[in-house]
Structure 1
Amino acid sequence: MQYYAQEHPEKDNFLFLYKQRITSPSSMAGEVLLVHETANQVKDPRRAWRYDPGRRRAFRTPTVAYDAPALASDGLSTIDNFDMFSGSPDKYNWELKGKKELFVPYNAYHLHSDQLSYDDIVRPGHINQEIARYELHRVWVVEATLKETKDNIYSRRTFYLDEDSWQALLVDHYDEQGELWRVAEAHALNYYEVPVLWTTLDVIHDLKAKRYIAFGLDNQESMYDFSKSMNYRQFTSSALRREGR
């Protein structure tokens, strides 16, 4: 389960508040990640806390950044893979390569349907392609190349951004030898009640491991309530400890 809020007493360099709770499997149930996301993370790195149900305590964690393994991803995703890319961009040189036409995941309303179960979507090797939808779109191509003085498991990333919304729809990730390693897809649709173009499902394919991970499956859950009001007090380390108890 994931929660967001956009209220913070320190607003100058604040982006959003984020909380993630693991409900299953039972071996990980109860683990909670809390993040205070900043806009300029070179100036002020994101702040993060983790609640460990085994030790029944919350503690500050400095590793929620860059290519640290993402929580509950079984090694198939990094922190900066979240939402196709998150965190500070300072480890890469960025270049706008221009536009091209490309088949990308788009208008994924069927994939978002509450008439589907997770078993309808998740299949061996890849999600059910009879449910996924792709269409030809103009995209901006942005290339990020790792700086010589920096470290990251991805030496290069190529982003394909929707021309209309600037949502990253596809990202190619290259290893240290320059070989294509992981491919990320963001299956997007319009949430007209907000309005915003956002994703219903993010998928990362690991071509070496021949496995994939899917983030955001929501078909068997209550739909997002964009009108729900949440406040800063729900996103403090003290609140994290109270939830654990």
Structure 2
Amino acid sequence: MKTLLVLGAALSLALPVQAAISAKEAERLGKDLTPVGAEKLGNGRDIPAWTGGLKQDTSHVPGAFHKDPFAGDKRVMRIDASNMEQHKERLTEGQMEMLKRFPDYYFDIYPTHRSASYPQYVYDAIKTNATRAGLMKYGAGVTGATMSSPFPIPENGLEVLWNHTLRFRGHSMTYTAVASSVTEGGQRMDALRDYEYFFQYSVPGAQPEDLDNKIFFLKRKTLAPAQMAGSITLVHETLDQVRSPRKSWIYVPGQRRLRRTPDLAYDTADINTNSIRTVDQVDMFNGAPDYYEWELKGKREVYIPYNAYRVHQGDLKVDDILKARHINPEYLRYEAHRVWVVEAKLRVGYSHRYSTRRYYVDEDSWSIIYAEEYDADGKLWQVTEAHTVNFFENPLVYTTLEVTYDMESGRYFAEGLDNERGSTLNFSNQLNADDFSPNAIRREAVR
């Protein structure tokens, strides 16, 4: 009976439900709303109006670490366990739990800068998306959109989620970084990896029918430790992952062959994290959303990690950042911002290790900045933070450090530690889909 229920649900996912807004509504973009759909005005207190974000800096050398444009800011206040009750209206449940568990942890609050900005052609695409994008039933996919977030004036939680999934992240991206799982006692298991992305969804001039149901292509190659060196993960990320699930392959040097991995989805343990997080927690959330019912809870003003240029510097050591039980709060920056709050409840008939998931989505970039995952008993299990910066040579907002805390085991996982690599994310390399074919990976593996 369960098989029939799931099959019936999967079939119904293919039915499109149009959610495009009218041209009149879309005219709000760039007026009372920013070009991406955020409220342009501030709150009259500590959240300023959006005035365009950081300007593009074409003189920035691709791959170089970014100078902190807000280095001169003075800290507004520090929130820790001793005063968090005074500020709980702007703290999430996960943040308060962190402060309770870790007496030496704190949030340094700085002046808010609405620094998010994107190229004009991205704004133009978002406005076009607004009047033609459609959402598949249960959010299986999106139709009629390209380049960036399809629903700048969202009406439900799934639209907000897809705004994150399809947000503009450039056209190609390469970088090398350390990912580390850290025990409660501070012992680390580090892995050094090369990452390459090609975002087919964001190809300039592409129409929805040109996408071939692809969002992006990813190749991740492990360089160290020695026993893992040479392993490669290849992913073809699809737009409708229920009708056509993502395609993925793994190359293991000892086996000397590239093999398909049909289970790289949902709550499959991400083995590269020592099983701290699941595959669908990468990039805060990824993949098909059909296992959950998604509810838009509204907006809140929350202190969130933002403009994380201080931790995004080449003169820091990984040892400076990773400490026992949590990363070093000395290098973190938090600001007051408005976020969309979306809550996901596990659907009847489906199984996942998280029964409830809550996401806090930055209104200015559509990036999930904060996530909380709960077990079957409703107990907080994990907390994840995305520390973002504006890569102002492009410009675009993307994560420089992502951290997942496991409240049950006391371990945590950090990804994106490129501080000792001599360079950071580089968006200037011209990659294409041919670079991510299985044959291309086979040729690379034998070299």
TM-score (norm 1): 0.96
Answering whether residue 414 of structure 2 is matched by residue 214 of structure 1, we say yes
Unaligned runs of 5+ in 1: none
- Offset from partner CA, 1:179-220 (integer Å, 9 cap, x none): 100000000111111111111000000000101000111112
Partner residue in 2 for 1:202? 402
2:219 matched residue in structure 1: 19
Indicate the residue corresponding to 1:2 in structure 2: 195
* 1:237 corresponding residue in structure 2: 438
Distance between the aligned counterparts of 2:210 and 2:443, measured in 1?
23
Structure of higher RCO (CA pairs closer than 8 Å, 6+ residues apart) = 2
Counterparts of 2:211 and 2:433, CA distance in 1:
11
Rounded Cα–Cα distance in structure 2 between residues aligned with 1:70 and 1:2: 16
CA contact 2:404–2:414 (8 Å) conserved in 1 = yes
Distance in 1 between residues matched to 2:254 and 2:402, nearest whole Å: 30
1:1-28 per-residue CA deviation (whole Å, 9 max, x = no partner) reads 1100135997231100001111111121
Q: Distance in 1 between matches of 2:409 and 2:214?
A: 37
Percentage of matched positions with identical amino acids: 47
Q: State the secondary structure of the residue aligned to 2:224.
A: coil
- Please give the secondary structure, in 1, of the residue aligned with 2:299: strand
Partner of 1:178: 378
- SS of the residue 2:378 aligns to: coil
In the alignment, structure 1 residue 75 sits paired with structure 2 residue 275 = yes
Is the 8 Å Cα contact of residues 200 and 215 (structure 2) preserved in structure 1? no
Decide whether aligned partners of structure 1 residues 20 and 109 sit closer, same or farther in structure 2, where only a CA change above 3 A counts. same
Determine the structure 1 residue equivalent to 2:254.
54
Query: What TM-score, normalized to structure 2?
Result: 0.54
Give 1:86's aligned amino acid: N
Larger radius of gyration: 2
AA partner of residue 114 (structure 1): G
Match of 1:29 in 2: 229
CA distance in 1, matches of 2:349, 2:403: 30
Considering fraction of residues, name the structure with more strand: 1
In the TM superposition, what is the alpha-carbon distance from 1:82 to its structure 2 partner?
Answer: 0.5
- Which residue identity is paired with 1:244? A
What displacement does 1:176 show?
Answer: 1.3
2:305 to 102, 105, 116: 105
Q: Which residue of 1 aligns with 2:387?
A: 187
Aligned to 2:288: 88
Contact 2:356-2:378 at 8 Å conserved across structures: yes
Does the CA-based 8 Å contact 2:267-2:278 persist in structure 1? Answer: yes
- The one-letter code matched in structure 2 to 1:30 is G
Q: Secondary structure at the match of 1:127?
A: coil
Name which of structure 1's ranges 227-236 and 201-210 shifts more when overlaid on structure 2. 227-236
The match for 2:353 among 153, 156, 162 is 153
For 2:229 and 2:322, locate their aligned partners in 1 and report how far apart those are by CA, in whole Å.
21
1:57–1:10 distance in 2 versus 1, CA, 3 Å: farther
Matches of 1:180 and 1:194, distance apart in 2: 37
Where does structure 2 lack aligned partners over 5 or more consecutive residues?
A: 1-193, 202-208
Distance 1:48 1:10, change over 3 A: farther
Residue pair 2:346, 2:355 contacting (<8 A) in 1 also = yes
